[in-house]
Amino acid sequence: MKKISIIILVFISASIYAQKELEQHPMAKSLECNYCHSCEIPTKDDPCLYTCPRTHMVTLQHPVEDAPEVIVLDELKEQSDLYAPVVFSHRLHAEMSNMAGGCQLCHHYNPPGVILGCQECHENSRSRTDLNKPDLKGAYHRQCIDCHREWTHEVECASCHLLNEKIVADEVQVKDYSEIKHPKIIEPTKIVYNTEFDDGDIVTFYHDEHVNLFNLDCSSCHSNSSCASCHDTTPLKLEPTLDQLHRVCSECHDTEDDCTNCHIKKERPRFNHELITGFDLNKYHKNIDCKSCHGKDGFKGLNDNCGTCHTDWSPGNFDHKITGLILSESHEGNDCEVCHENNNFKKPTCSMCHDEDVTYPDFMPGEEI
């Protein structure tokens, strides 16, 4: 009997420990286990993680301050006698990565607890059988060339590589790159665009509202941005198409059927909930996050009847004086629906108890405060 009790105790302890481990897992609340693990019961010794699967991308965000300042990419040094290893200013690039989604801009597969370098998934050898996954040299070049081509319009090898015969000591290059910091980005408050749209040539964009009020992060709008978005001033830069100009805004706004959502003939005032929606955000609603009422899928219109959200109000859990009216003794014991038929809390009715000549607000069921 004692032996059985010990076994049960060990089993319970192991279960509690396993639950604690699961709760501490950084992705446990947002992903199913089989999103990362190919087996039913992964263990520490055999986690059976998918090997860099394009359909199972998992990337955690890390603070820029934790990123290494410089990385020397020397894994391919044996493949070339002509060029020296590349000294990569990692933190400088990481400082702007939030504009395009964070770490996954380069680290497209970062399972919990691990920061993977390209060489962890991409083979050094060029004789590979999986054509969907480039070798290490191809992975490095594909990560860098697109941005450099877009910004400088040049992709000569010397853009990143020093010749072996001209190379200076690695520690000197590392020191030089370590001292480079990206200037602090000053977020605009308001941007006014002058367009060629005849029915409304002015578009007023309040950047601070979209960040602070609507809780958008940089990647919500800048996911396709790169250094060239700010730095490329060459004549070769192409002007964006009408579709490209509207693409970001159309995620939230109707840019096809109602142009007046953005285009009017004068600067638009700041967002005012009462003016735009007809619903005043009084002191009980003004500090609530927008998504608490509108949900995470967008700011669609809502029924402004209080009962739409407050479905569980009752005399026992609602203090009526917060409405600005203290109910009289003859009214305070009534159920809500006696005065608010069909849970319509916007305007009370008196007909259930009183004659037709007794109406609100001529007749007050209590004292205003």
Locate the domains of the chain by residue range. Answer: 64-178, 190-271, 305-369
C-alpha distances in angstroms, 134 versus 86, 120, 145, 212? 19, 13, 14, 41
Which pLDDT score, from 0 to 100, does residue 76 have?
Answer: 84
Look-up of token digits 């996911």: 223
Which pLDDT score, from 0 to 100, does residue 12 have?
Answer: 42
Which pLDDT score, from 0 to 100, does residue 191 have?
Answer: 93
Look-up of token digits 């006696």: 338
Query: Is the Cβ–Cβ distance between 291 and 297 less than 8 Å?
Result: no
By C-alpha distance, which of 61, 93, 65 is closest to 226?
Answer: 93
In whole angstroms, what is the distance from residue 188 CA to residue 212 CA? 12
Residue type, 216: L
Q: Which pair of structure tokens corresponds to residue 213?
A: 């009020």
C-alpha distances in angstroms, 227 versus 86, 98, 204, 224? 20, 12, 25, 10
Which pLDDT score, from 0 to 100, does residue 7 have?
Answer: 44
In order along its 369 residues, the chain shows pLDDT tens digits of 544 444 444 444 444 444 444 445 555 555 667 766 778 888 877 877 765 544 455 556 777 777 888 888 888 877 777 888 888 888 888 887 767 667 777 877 766 666 778 888 788 887 766 677 788 888 888 888 877 877 777 788 888 888 776 655 566 667 777 777 788 878 899 999 999 888 899 999 999 999 888 888 787 788 767 677 777 766 666 677 888 788 888 877 878 888 888 899 999 999 888 877 878 887 778 778 787 788 766 677 777 777 778 878 877 788 888 888 899 988 888 888 888 887 778 778 888 889 888 888 888 899 888
Q: Which pair of structure tokens corresponds to residue 88?
A: 């990569």
In whole angstroms, what is the distance from residue 62 CA to residue 85 CA? 26
Which pLDDT score, from 0 to 100, does residue 250 have?
Answer: 84
Which pLDDT score, from 0 to 100, does residue 50 have?
Answer: 65
What is the CA 299 to chain-centroid distance, rounded?
16
CATH code assigned to 190-271: 3.90.10
Q: Which pair of structure tokens corresponds to residue 186?
A: 């000053």
In whole angstroms, what is the distance from residue 303 CA to residue 8 CA? 54
By C-alpha distance, which of 107, 116, 119 is closest to 77?
Answer: 119
Where is 204: in which H helix or E strand? strand 202-206
Q: Do 64-178 and 190-271 agree at the fold level?
A: yes
Which pLDDT score, from 0 to 100, does residue 205 have?
Answer: 94
CATH code assigned to 64-178: 3.90.10.10
By C-alpha distance, which of 57, 60, 66 is closest to 95?
Answer: 66
Q: Which pair of structure tokens corresponds to residue 133?
A: 């996954």
Residue type, 188: P
Which pLDDT score, from 0 to 100, does residue 2 have?
Answer: 47
Which pLDDT score, from 0 to 100, does residue 8 have?
Answer: 44
Which pLDDT score, from 0 to 100, does residue 15 have?
Answer: 42
